[in-house]
Amino acid sequence: MRHSRRLFADEIRFPFSSGFDAGQWQRIKSTADAGMRALPPGMISGSDIDALAVKAARVNCRSLPGGQEISLAQADLNSLPALENRVILCNPPYGIRLAQDTILGDFYKELGNFLKRRCKGSEAYIYFGNREMLKQIGLRPAWKKPMRNAGLDGRLAKFELY
For residue 116, the tally of other CB atoms under 10 A from its CB is 15
Spell out the alpha helix ranges (H) of the chain. Answer: 2-11, 22-34, 51-62, 101-118
pLDDT tens digit sequence for 100-109: 666 888 999 9
CB 115 within 8 A of CB 161: yes
Length of the chain: 162
Degrees (nearest 5) of the Cα angle 93, 54, 61?
A: 115
Q: Return d(Cα 106, Cα 58) in angstroms, integer.
A: 28
pLDDT, residue 102, reads 66
Instruction: Please report, to the nearest 10 degrees, the dihedral formed by the alpha carbons of residues 4, 10, 15, 19 taken in order.
Output: -160
Of 26-35, 47-56, 121-130, 133-142, which gets the smallest average pLDDT?
26-35
Q: What are phi and psi of 7, to 5 degrees?
A: -60, -40
pTM of the model: 0.74
Hey, what amino acid is at 39?
L
Phi-psi region of 151 (alpha: psi -120 to 50; beta: other; left: phi over 0): left
Q: Return d(Cα 73, Cα 54) in angstroms, integer.
A: 7
pLDDT, residue 95, reads 74
pLDDT tens digit sequence for 93-135: 887 655 566 688 899 999 999 999 999 999 999 999 988 899 9
